[in-house]
Amino acid sequence: MQNFAIRLLMLAMLSLTLAAAPVVTAVYANPDSDPPPPPPKGKKKKSEIRPSVEQAAFENGYRAAYATIYDRHDYANAIEQLKALHHDDTAAVANLIGYSYRKLGDYKLSQVWYERALKADPNHVKTWQYYGLWQVEQGNRDQAQYHLNRIAQLAGTNSEEYRSLSAALEKPPGTGLVY
Q: What are the pLDDT digits (tens) for 98-157?
A: 999 999 999 999 999 999 999 999 999 999 999 999 999 999 999 999 999 999 999 999
pLDDT grade for 68, boundaries at 50, 70 and 90: very high
Q: What amino acid is encoded at 28 in this protein?
A: Y
Q: How many CB atoms lie within 10 A of CB 125?
A: 23
Instruction: Determine if residue 119 is left, alpha or beta; phi over 0 gives left, psi from -120 to 50 gives alpha, anything else beta.
Output: alpha
118: CB partners within 8 A, 6+ apart? 91, 124, 127, 128, 131
| Comparison of pLDDT for 2 and 116, the residue scoring more | 116
Share of the chain above pLDDT 90, in %: 64
Maximum distance among all Cα pairs of the chain, rounded to whole angstroms:
79
H or E segment and range at residue 106: none
pLDDT for 173 equals 80
Q: Tell me the average pLDDT of the chain.
A: 82
In which band, very low, low, confident or very high, does the pLDDT at 39 lie, cut at 50, 70 and 90? low
User: Can you give the pTM of this predicted structure?
Assistant: 0.74
> Under DSSP, is residue 135 helix (H, G, I), strand (E, B) or coil?
helix
How many other C-beta atoms lie within 10 A of the C-beta of residue 102? 24
